[in-house]
């Protein structure tokens, strides 16, 4: 069963809510496609306007700049990931099964239960892997943090941390492990694709070995508090 999904985003991320109009949704749809295709550095609102068939000024009516658009789509992704995690663990009592679900979600191995017609989630996942850190690796990260632009990422990591504590209530570093797990999953995916000698998965299709590595990482850490 699939469900229609509408995610309410932090208003600071946009000038005008892109979900409020067909043009706004097209900006999201084509923006994801273009960032995925050409990369964030070569992506411009001028190119996006040509692709959509509108004016550059029209895009600026929705987003202050291209970095805000990147932050918007990555924040959307983390919110969607949390929805997925809640959905897939809602009736699960075994904490180990919950952890395995977290890892399956991070390696994009769980079926998507939510429909959002104007968001290509596979492309968005590729953007988060390759470009996601650029949302907060900036000189104005503290200002953006005060505006709560990264709250969806924090919320996801907090939910994962709670699952770790459910598995081992004595573990001292659940939030650090949660963010490490997320970052490691996506860095290893990027390395696997582009810098394979930095991984042990370079010649492998799929994510089975990466999944096993992440499981080993998490369960090895969580076992420390039980010693």
Judge whether 194 lies within some domain.
Answer: yes
Asked if the model's pLDDT at residue 196 lies above 60, the reply is: yes
CATH code (residue 176): 1.10.357.10
Judge whether 53 lies within some domain.
Answer: yes
DSSP result, 176-208: HHHHHHHHHHHHHHHHHHH-GGGSS-TT-SSSH
- Its domain, for residue 11, covers 3-128+139-224
Judge whether 91 lies within some domain.
Answer: yes
Judge whether 44 lies within some domain.
Answer: yes
Judge whether 133 lies within some domain.
Answer: no
Judge whether 109 lies within some domain.
Answer: yes
- Of 33-42, 163-172, 203-212, the range with the lowest mean pLDDT is 203-212
Per the structure, how many domains does the chain have? Answer: 1
pLDDT at 6: 75
pLDDT digits 0-9 by tens, 97-119: 999 999 999 998 877 767 788 89
Answer yes or no: pTM beyond 0.75: yes
- Of 14-18, 107-111, 208-212, the range with the lowest mean pLDDT is 107-111
Judge whether 134 lies within some domain.
Answer: no
- Look at residues 178, 212, 201 and name the one whose alpha carbon lies nearest to residue 81: 178
pLDDT digits 0-9 by tens, 139-178: 999 999 999 999 999 999 999 999 999 999 999 999 999 9
For residue 65, give the DSSP letter. Answer: S
For the chain, give the percent of residues with pLDDT over 70: 96
pLDDT at 95: 96
Distance separating alpha carbons of residues 201 and 188, to the nearest angstrom: 8
- Look at residues 86, 109, 91, 71 and name the one whose alpha carbon lies nearest to residue 207: 109
């Amino acid at each position: 069963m699939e469900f229609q999904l509408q995610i309410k985003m932090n208003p600071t991320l946009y000038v005008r809510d892109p979900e409020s109009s067909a043009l706004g949704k097209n900006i999201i749809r084509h923006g994801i496609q273009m960032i995925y295709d050409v990369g964030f550095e070569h992506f411009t609102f001028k190119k996006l306007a040509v692709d959509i068939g509108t004016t550059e000024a029209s895009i600026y009516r929705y987003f202050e700049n291209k970095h805000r658009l990147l932050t918007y789509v990555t924040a959307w992704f983390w919110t969607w990931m949390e929805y997925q995690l809640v959905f897939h663990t809602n009736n699960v009592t075994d904490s180990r099964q919950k952890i395995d679900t977290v890892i399956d979600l991070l390696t994009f191995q769980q079926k998507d239960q939510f429909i959002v017609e104007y968001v290509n989630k596979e492309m968005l996942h590729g953007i988060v892997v390759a470009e996601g850190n650029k949302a907060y690796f900036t000189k104005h990260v503290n200002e953006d943090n005060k505006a709560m632009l990264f709250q969806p990422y924090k919320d996801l990591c907090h939910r994962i941390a709670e699952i770790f504590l459910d598995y081992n209530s004595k573990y001292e570093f659940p939030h650090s492990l949660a963010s490490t797990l997320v970052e490691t999953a996506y860095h290893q995916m990027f390395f696997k694709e582009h810098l394979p000698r930095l991984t042990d998965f370079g010649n492998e299709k799929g994510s089975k070995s990466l999944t096993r590595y992440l499981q080993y990482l998490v369960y090895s850490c969580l076992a420390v508090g039980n010693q």
